[in-house]
Structure 1
Amino acid sequence: MTEPELSERIAELTRAVPGVADLHGGVFGEVATYLPGGRVPGVRIRPDHTEVHVSVFWDQPVRATAEAVRTTVQSLVGTPVLVTVEDVVHPTKENQ
């Protein structure tokens, strides 16, 4: 799998984890995988680890949600996964 395909798959799997509101690109949008003609915010792939930055819903267990993201992504990438919870957001009908 190419890096663009991998980063997009990581984003897809992360968004599907219960409790995850969305990926988060960091304060200045600096956390991303840059692709030709675009980028995948919230995912940074390194040779020795992968970073995933997320926003979670406030009514969900933050640590358990982060652990679920880590487990899900690690099974795909095969390297350690560092999960950073950047924000906690209120669940609304639009973002659930």
Structure 2
Amino acid sequence: MATDSPSAADPGPSDRLPPAVDPNAPDPAGTAAPTGPTARQIADAVTAVDGVTGLHGGVFEEVATYLPGGRVTGVVLGDEAAEIHIVVDAAHDLRGVAARVRDVVTDLTGLPTMVTIEDITIRG
């Protein structure tokens, strides 16, 4: 005889959730956020580079650092590299702007940095 109620052999969805984590507990796995500049600080430094008119999230807005309560578009920080996607004013040397952005981010993070120019703007 079949019933629609869960049995002890078949726990309900709430029994499958991971256990709650105490935010004040030590991090035994070493997964705590690294120290150093935040994605927002890097975004501010990049947009301060002469010729950069903005950050770009990629075709599907997939290029971002996701944070509680929001995200930083155009900045991806990994353990071994950084990735920055920018929009550049066409009146500037595109390669020169990309090189300056790479240098700024590498100086801040100590990570090798790949810079992608996603778009250009033309000021009229």
Q: Of the candidates 94, 101, 116, which is equivalent to residue 62 of structure 1?
A: 94
Once the two structures are TM-superposed, the CA of residue 91 in structure 1 deviates from its matched residue by 2.2
Structure with higher Rg: it is 2
What is the TM-score with the length of structure 1 in the denominator? 0.89
Residue 64 (structure 2) pairs with residue 32 (structure 1): yes
Q: Which runs of 5+ in 2 are unaligned?
A: 1-32
Partner secondary structure for residue 70 of structure 1: helix
> Matched residues, percent identical?
44
Partner secondary structure for residue 43 of structure 2: helix
**More helix per residue: 1 or 2?**
1
Q: Which runs of 5+ in 1 are unaligned?
A: none
Aligned residues: 91
Q: Of the candidates 77, 80, 93, which is equivalent to residue 45 of structure 1?
A: 77
What is the TM-score with the length of structure 2 in the denominator? 0.70
**More strand per residue: 1 or 2?**
1
Coordinate RMSD, CA, aligned: 1.6
Partner secondary structure for residue 14 of structure 1: helix
Once the two structures are TM-superposed, the CA of residue 26 in structure 1 deviates from its matched residue by 0.5
Partner secondary structure for residue 38 of structure 2: helix
Once the two structures are TM-superposed, the CA of residue 41 in structure 1 deviates from its matched residue by 0.1
Q: How does 1:82-93 map to 2 (within 5 A)?
A: 82-91=114-123
